[in-house]
Amino acid sequence: MTAHLSETLTLLLIEDNDGDAFLVEELLKQALAPPKVFWARSLQEAKAKLTPQIQCVLVDLSLPDASGLEALKEVLALAPHTAVLVLTGLRDSHVGVAAVQAGAQDYLVKSDVDERLLARAIRYAMERKRADLAHVSLVQAELTAKENSRLQNALLPGPLLRTEAIEHVTRYLPGSGGTLAGDFFDTVQTPDGSVHIVVGDVCGHGPDEAALGVALRIAWRTLVLAGQTDDTLLRTLDAVLRAERNSPEIFTTLCMATISPDLRHARMRVVGHPPPVLVRDGAVQVVDGTPSGPPLGIFPDAEWSVIDVPLGEEWSMMLYTDGLIEAAVGESQELLGLEGLLGLVREHGAIDLDRLITHVGTLSDDLAVVLVRRRRR
């Protein structure tokens, strides 16, 4: 009966016995679409022929330069993404079972092979390999999601606020890679009634940067609760950054704001970071006098000036990371930019985070935003 190989495949046969190799090739020629078969007599010879075009490897477990499961493990290491079908001359099911347990997709005893069984075994091996790779990808995705969730809980905590006089809203979106970077934020109200806010961004992407962002956020919260809210806090964060980073090139930008207990005035330090957006008395603007100084982790003797910002009775203030203004928007996929952001806020008549994010297109970087708003009583 004609074997059901309905499309042309590319196979590699690793077999040192000329007769057995001839038999396999003759059986495969009876398929509807005979596959293209490369033949190697040893593992060493197979290395040169094992290209990305190979869809399935048929390997004998008795080769001149390797035998048994050693030969199989060598093939699996050479072709981790390719289906592997074991051929054995041993009438011992334990050998085949051990081969499958070691990573092969299936096994055949040479003396039992006919054209139909061989074609079906190749198809099965390829489909099982696809399923195995899909399962691995799914598991990796689940692990990444769980890790991201743990990191997000540490990077993006709930605010420590007692007052109900201001509205506090946050948003976080990962970049196009889907994994968390080093963006972080936090809000803490101290016993004197002052409200302290930070939004920061560790340069780079990946778990190391995210972990560093967690360390900096926790250090910031600890220092604020201990009463350190001025340049001493920044110098301590700078020391933490230098101690925890994996590379001397890693730096961190951030924006800190301390809102007075009467909620009418703010003192800010914009540390190499995008300037906050302020809506006050109906006017949309960026905070003047930025930046206060360079990012953390660059100059050991850096100083940062304080920016005094009158707020008044009714105001909104948004602190954010550069993922927002570096987002691609519109059909042209141009960067939003600071002027584009101000334009959207003016168009909306207020800072509406949900509408802003709806207008944002492709994110090349993480986006973290903190919005605080005080309405007239």
174 and 81 co-located in one domain: no
Distance (Å, whole) CA 366 – CA 21: 55
> pLDDT per residue over 64-120, tens digit each?
887 778 888 888 888 888 889 888 876 666 777 788 888 888 888 877 777 788 888
Tell me if 147 is assigned to some domain.
no
> pLDDT per residue over 341-376, tens digit each?
999 999 888 898 888 888 876 677 788 999 999 976
- Please list, in sequence order, all residues whose beta carbon lies within 8 angstroms of the beta carbon of residue 308, skipping any fewer than 6 positions away: 265, 266, 267
Distance (Å, whole) CA 317 – CA 309: 11
254 and 223 co-located in one domain: yes
Report residue 324 as tokens.
């927002």
29-33, 174-178, 321-325: range with lowest mean pLDDT: 174-178
87 and 166 co-located in one domain: no
Tell which wins on pLDDT, 134 or 302.
302
Tell me if 4 is assigned to some domain.
no
Tell which wins on pLDDT, 55 or 195.
195
Tell me if 271 is assigned to some domain.
yes
Q: Which domain holds residue 68?
A: 10-136
Total Cβ atoms within 10 A of residue 250 = 19
pLDDT score at 269 = 96
121 and 198 co-located in one domain: no
Backbone φ, ψ for residue 261 (5° rounding): -55, -30
Backbone φ, ψ for residue 60 (5° rounding): -80, 145
Grade residue 298 by pLDDT with cuts at 50, 70 and 90.
very high
Grade residue 315 by pLDDT with cuts at 50, 70 and 90.
very high
H or E element that contains 297: none
Q: State the distance between the two ends of the chain, measured CA to CA, in whole angstroms.
A: 87
pLDDT score at 4 = 47
Q: Where does a domain end: 136, 169, 187?
A: 136
Q: Measuring CA to CA, which residue among 184, 192, 179 is closest to residue 213?
A: 184
Tell me if 42 is assigned to some domain.
yes
Grade residue 238 by pLDDT with cuts at 50, 70 and 90.
very high
123 and 201 co-located in one domain: no
76 and 206 co-located in one domain: no
pLDDT score at 186 = 95
> What CATH code is carried by the domain that includes residue 267?
3.60.40.10
State how far the alpha carbon of 200 is from the alpha carbons of 123, 156, 190, 254, 355, in Å: 52, 11, 20, 4, 23
Asked if 266 contacts 312 with a C-beta cutoff of 8 angstroms, the reply is no
| Max avg pLDDT among 14-28, 153-167, 187-201, 274-288 | 187-201
- Rounded to the nearest integer, the mean pLDDT of the chain is 85
Report residue 113 as tokens.
């092979």
pLDDT score at 3 = 42
Grade residue 275 by pLDDT with cuts at 50, 70 and 90.
very high
Q: Measuring CA to CA, which residue among 345, 313, 349 is closest to residue 166?
A: 313
Q: Where does a domain end: 136, 164, 186?
A: 136
> What CATH code is carried by the domain that includes residue 39?
3.40.50.2300
Q: Give the strand pairing for 181-189 and 166-173.
A: unpaired
183 and 291 co-located in one domain: yes
Kindly tell me if the per-residue pLDDT of 222 is higher than 70.
yes
201 and 319 co-located in one domain: yes
- State the greatest distance between any 2 C-alpha atoms of the chain, in Å, as a whole number: 93
Number of compact structural domains in the chain: 2
Kindly tell me if the per-residue pLDDT of 258 is higher than 90.
yes
Distance (Å, whole) CA 104 – CA 358: 48
Q: Where does a domain end: 105, 136, 167?
A: 136
Kindly tell me if the per-residue pLDDT of 234 is higher than 70.
yes
> pLDDT per residue over 121-144, tens digit each?
888 888 888 887 777 777 776 766
pLDDT score at 155 = 61
For residue 191, the one-letter residue type is: P
| Max avg pLDDT among 10-19, 143-152, 286-295, 297-306 | 297-306
366 and 268 co-located in one domain: yes
- Model confidence pTM above 0.75: no
